[in-house]
Structure 1
């Protein structure tokens, strides 16, 4: 199959996937999404593949994409994203009011929301959620133990909520900016933040029960979500329908439609594809485009027939692959060294040779992926301080920093979490830096958990990382450079700014962007902050992600988006009939 024909087929399949599901009214909290068929088929199991075991579902410590996807169906935040549009919708909070120029957020808590049954509750019966659970949960997330790295503290609450620092430092036994009155919770911010609702929609801001926290039962998954955790082991995770779930569709039918959702651990993408073709799983996320092209060529009838058997989609992601410098190391304090290394890396070669062009693009812009999600963002301004392969400039900067031809530069280590692609990239960069700058690097593979620990505690020289945005805003990417999240002590973890990059001018612009009165104004300040970040080169941006998804066409209402948020509440399974499909085509 030639490239143009494959592109047309991919575009057609992408259109089919999205248009098989009618637009949902953003005003409705009945979760309605009409399809061509008026008869929804309830029950059944949706089976997905994931590559690695999920070690924790505690929202306080959920870092990986798959853990977030699973946790978001077991636990729930106050509000959620519409999986198709990424607009904010009510969830545990049935409504909310925003006042005082985006500084006062008042949430009315929905009645009839129950936690899943769990032995932590008296008699094992889950109780009804109350407004007090919200305050207790948020204070739990912000209580800083000596060695803890709370995702929500750093990505949602820190620098936002009135009284937070007094609580964290022990000067107060509560966060004064979070108050409960009856069924209402009011959160007061220290400054305007138009993205605060988006931050609250992330899985890391999910609401928990005091009983579950105190008896350390969070890995058992006793949340309020549409699914309950049935099992979690080396073979995968099984979620089962929450029969007491509070949401219904627009016809008054109980959600969710599915009986179970299972996540099978299949480490190899080739093995995932085999399982998909054999009907053992319905959906694969992140399949390399080369593998999809091969599958299309071998199974063209399954895509061309009416109705099709398989559906393809591809979506640019709010996600970046990068190498971070540990700026606590003396040899990385000189930005000329960091810039030299960044210029010495041939990203295009990595993109072509190792990735086989299976990404959105090489990392020749900034830390914010240059995708259409951010219309009006000044990517051109950022690119003025970005990096492409320039060995002459790299050698010149290294010499200016006092290391001509690499002389006197210490031997350093690149640390990465073990997998074949990460190894190939590290080995390629090792070779490129030796050839261009004559510096010696070791490369070391560790577990994902060890890599995360080492980078956050400043034990790595250079570390491999990938960051997926939690919400649709440049803020979620530029949080990586926010210096006020960096602890003064090396004994405390620094996350997500694991580079320990601190620049007061960056912080000032970042904060101005958060407090801006319009998206246009915020984009202006974010782009200025990003330009500084890229000029300072605390990271080497390698590439931007693009996901390819493939699924059986009988999977209805499963949407894909730039932040990899999956919502299974209204997913249902039903084969298309030829008549039904043709009726849909007419419309």
Structure 2
């Protein structure tokens, strides 16, 4: 018999799931969900699914189900033919001619052609678009000049010769170009949909896509519902007919949905539950080329002084935070570029060659603060840590708060915001110090180093020497020379103490085991194209 305590637990769980189901609107959608529906809990409400304007991993995860580029990454992280059936490359490696498959269609049945790719890429580069993904296309000839108003759209190195042929000209030979093509910045977009509605990427009924699935409903901050895209070029490989994705920024809510039988998979379970989940065989660790760090606004006091920035980094005990708060197979970070990307010789890991670039020393940090002019009679100003709502982000912020108070007597406040507001304020420089993370768009160290090269980077950092160095990296064909330039650029980030690296990411997730044949890309995205229950 079930004891009184177990009955009470059961009733509490059932009541909690009823509340969650009501909050996420499951009732109205229950008739569309059957035992074959893949139910994945998305960890954040997308701001947009417009490939040119999106910027977060959850957005990219949704887009991976909805779109296909010329190529698509396989489960080994290698690019495979997708919308393009094959391609030719010039002897000097700067011109690619892509041959598209015949009879490719959009999800609404309209023909998809090479002209859609040319339109999408030039739209992303158009300065009037304000695309966050524009930098990803800078390898195209004259792309950066067009994006910065120094060239015309017709100068950009992408041209549809006919409906089935796309010719791409690069600024310089780019070894990782095919991998780059699999990222969201290179997805095609439907011109009619874009021109009919500026915010076409924010509602299910205006999104026209070309991937394995199409989005049929989107209850904002509630759930998303997908069905198989019968017009997909590779539809025979898509087994699953429907997917239901609840949305919650709460780790504990996501876990409750899975353990309560209302969902099949979720990412980033609460740290407090990870040991229990591992023992139960429910916790898995997926790959992710990324990092988690704190960034300083270099134009906000007291962080205008690099000595202060360096001191605040030196008192953070990364090992203790990762071991006791973060967990999930993460590795503490003492640099910016993560492990997992090779030098040009194809053998040595970039991170191992570059070694650690920061260290911890509380006494030295206190000395730097005094040298910066702060002491008992001239205390540091009040400091606010900005982060987006999450149990994990809050716990990490509290650890930083305690470390800075203990070391410097700093008065540190915490401010959490909904993700969309948080990102907008961080981008606008409306903060002193804020959490951040970067997950690779493609598997090359350059992708991480470019974060601080743009004039509008979130740290408000402006350094022509650094920008020139990044330009050299992009244009240097010699592998060993390029490696040396990238190590030099990374060292500059820490000479300036722009960030506090905390850990290199993994993708811990929980699954009930019912979903098969999915895989995680090295970019931390889950691909359900061939998945089934």
Per the alignment, residue 205 of structure 1 pairs with: 186
1:334 matched to 2:305 = yes
Per the alignment, residue 3 of structure 1 pairs with: none
TM-score by length of 1: 0.77
Residue aligned with 1:336, SS = helix
User: Which runs of no fewer than 5 residues in structure 2 stay unpaired?
Assistant: 1-34
1:377 corresponds, among 339, 342, 349, to 349
1:139 corresponds, among 105, 119, 122, to 122
> How far apart, CA to CA, are the structure 2 residues paired with 1:425 and 1:134?
42
Per the alignment, residue 141 of structure 2 pairs with: 161
Residue aligned with 1:61, SS = coil
Structure 1 position 422, deviation (Å): 1.9
Q: C-alpha deviations, 1:85-131, integer Å up to 9, x for none?
A: 111112122222232533222222222111122xxxxxxxx310111
Structure 1 position 519, deviation (Å): 5.6
Per the alignment, residue 537 of structure 1 pairs with: 497
1:453 matched to 2:424 = yes
Per the alignment, residue 85 of structure 1 pairs with: 76
Which range moves more in the overlay, 89-98 or 515-524?
A: 515-524
1:362 matched to 2:332 = yes
2:214/2:227 contact within 8 Å kept = yes
Residue aligned with 2:490, SS = helix
1:127 matched to 2:110 = yes
1:291 matched to 2:273 = yes
Aligned residue runs from structure 1 range 50-61, under 5 A = 50-61=42-53
> How far apart, CA to CA, are the structure 1 residues paired with 2:132 and 2:350?
29
Q: C-alpha deviations, 1:464-519, integer Å up to 9, x for none?
A: 1121112222122222122xx21xxxxxxx2xx31133444444444444445466
2:300/2:431 contact within 8 Å kept = no
RMSD after superposition = 2.7
2:226 corresponds, among 209, 230, 239, to 239
1:227 matched to 2:198 = no
Per the alignment, residue 113 of structure 1 pairs with: 104
> How far apart, CA to CA, are the structure 2 residues paired with 1:89 and 1:405?
62
> How far apart, CA to CA, are the structure 1 residues paired with 2:461 and 2:423?
17
> How far apart, CA to CA, are the structure 1 residues paired with 2:259 and 2:302?
51
| Distance change (3 Å), C-alpha of 1:478 and 1:166 | closer
> How far apart, CA to CA, are the structure 1 residues paired with 2:123 and 2:287?
35
Per the alignment, residue 509 of structure 2 pairs with: 549
1:386 matched to 2:358 = yes
Per the alignment, residue 269 of structure 1 pairs with: 251
Per the alignment, residue 558 of structure 1 pairs with: 518
Per the alignment, residue 172 of structure 2 pairs with: 191
TM-score by length of 2: 0.84
1:194/1:514 contact within 8 Å kept = no
1:226/1:242 contact within 8 Å kept = yes
| Distance change (3 Å), C-alpha of 1:529 and 1:257 | same
User: Which runs of no fewer than 5 residues in structure 1 stay unpaired?
Assistant: 1-42, 118-125, 249-253, 304-309, 487-493, 574-587
1:78/1:91 contact within 8 Å kept = yes
| Distance change (3 Å), C-alpha of 1:260 and 1:412 | same
Q: C-alpha deviations, 1:385-418, integer Å up to 9, x for none?
A: 2132x11111122222233458254333221112
2:414 corresponds, among 436, 439, 443, to 443
2:217/2:226 contact within 8 Å kept = yes
> How far apart, CA to CA, are the structure 2 residues paired with 1:439 and 1:287?
32
Per the alignment, residue 18 of structure 2 pairs with: none
2:160 corresponds, among 169, 176, 180, to 180
Residue aligned with 2:288, SS = strand
| Distance change (3 Å), C-alpha of 1:327 and 1:411 | same
> How far apart, CA to CA, are the structure 2 residues paired with 1:288 and 1:96?
45
Per the alignment, residue 279 of structure 1 pairs with: 261
Structure 1 position 351, deviation (Å): 2.3
| Distance change (3 Å), C-alpha of 1:337 and 1:102 | farther
Structure 1 position 463, deviation (Å): 1.5
| Distance change (3 Å), C-alpha of 1:511 and 1:136 | same
| Distance change (3 Å), C-alpha of 1:461 and 1:109 | same
Aligned residues: 490
1:474 matched to 2:455 = no
Q: C-alpha deviations, 1:347-374, integer Å up to 9, x for none?
A: 233224433x3351222x2111234777
Per the alignment, residue 14 of structure 2 pairs with: none
Aligned residue runs from structure 1 range 301-316, under 5 A = 312-316=283-287
